[in-house]
Amino acid sequence: MSRKKGGMKRRLSGEEVGEGINLTPLMDMIFNLIFFFILATEVRQSHAFLEVRLPHVTQTTRMESAGKTLIITVTKDNRVFLEKREISPESLEAELKKIPPVQVSRIAIKGDAQAYHETIVKVLDACVKAGHTGVSVEVKSEKY
């Protein structure tokens, strides 16, 4: 090492290199933030395991519930999912009867805009026959 006026410099293979800023802590912090945002996004989209395009409406009312919300999804090819498990529309009523209405505060039906109206009506009918009255249909508001 050689000392010169004007500060300390290191000699590396014949060239003089000045003291620089250590970017390692900054990079660690950036990677931690990226990791956090990836995890936060995954948690937020826990019910988005299927690609469902909700129909648009001009006016909506938001239903808030304190208890558990049961999600029934109807895809554009008319497949029905209770939570994340595929089920036939005919056996949906029997599955919903296994869940007492006091355990579920509401049932949200996410029906794709291209799903048949008949399939959505079968799902609604199964919910009512099983004794669940807090049923709502998820839509996409034009405001958002």
Bridge partners, 105 (sequence order): none
Query: Which of 64, 82, 51 lies closest to 136, judged by CA?
Result: 64
Please check the confidence at residue 144 and state whether its pLDDT lies above 50.
no
Global confidence as pTM:
0.55
Instruction: Give the integer Cα–Cα distance in Å for 113 and 18.
Output: 63
- Residue 57: predicted pLDDT: 60
| 12: its two tokens | 């590396």
For each of the domains in the chain, give its residue range(s) and CATH number, in order of start. 56-141 (3.30.420.270)
pLDDT digits (tens, 9 = 90+) for 64-103: 555 788 889 998 898 999 988 899 888 988 998 898 888 8
pLDDT digits (tens, 9 = 90+) for 7-62: 555 555 656 666 778 888 899 999 999 988 887 775 544 555 566 666 666 655 55
